[in-house]
Amino acid sequence: MKIAILGYGKMGKMVESVIARDGIHEVCMKTNSSIRNDFQTSLKNADAAIDFTSPAIVMHHLTACLQAGIPLIIGTTGWHDELEKIKLLCKEKNGAVIYASNFSIGVNIFFGVNHKLAQMMKYRKEYEPRITEIHHVQKKDAPSGTAITLANDILKYSAAKTQLVNKESGRSDELIVLSRREGTVTGLHEVEFTSAIDRITITHEAFSREGFARGAILAAEWIQNKKGFFEFNEIFTDILASSEAD
């Protein structure tokens, strides 16, 4: 499979490195602000494109991929307010898109654990939920897309919380999601439920970006010959089963 890398920053370079080491696929193009090739022409040679760029240009890449008939894997976060618009455009163009707030296999297992915990805590008002996320100082969006996904599952089931806030809050209807930017931290997410007598905590810590890259490549393999807008956590089990079968 020929893969186009849209965004040749740290994540784009990690995707390229994993592809080179595995020797199964090939990178047919890579682009960022300093690599200005003939984008539209080069894109037509790809079987899939993987986007790790910035929120400002995700829509441009999506439009280009839909016009070229190329499946797009979106790993960029911070554009969630455009989600419905992107779903509609994908449907209109009969395109193929997979989005994830986090493509890590471990994080998606973590999502499943958080989902189950949120269900169990639905009526346990004595427990106060809170999320903390820590990333490197270069990460621009806060809270992280991963933290928002975790928060949305808690909000979905909570009988008390109605919205998330990215700050300390004294309001009982607000779910606190605290963001910290420190050094070169790849990514750490912690969900806690605290009562007067105990605390339940689940944590995921990424040691490198390789997990994100491998998940995105798995998504690119899975979406071949498919149409529609998919979220990685929704099809995660099917993607794992497909990779194991191969």
Residues noted as catalytic: 135, 139
- Separation of alpha carbons 210 and 146, rounded Å: 16
- Give the three-class secondary structure for 196: coil
* Count of CB atoms situated within 10 Å of the CB of 88: 11
Amino acid at 167: K
Starting at the edge strand found earlier in the chain, the sheet holding 187-194 runs 163-165, 174-181, 128-135, 187-194, 199-206
- Among 204, 209, 49, 80, residue whose Cα is nearest residue 143: 80
Q: Count the alpha carbons within 13 Å of 142 in the hemisphere toward its beta carbon.
A: 18
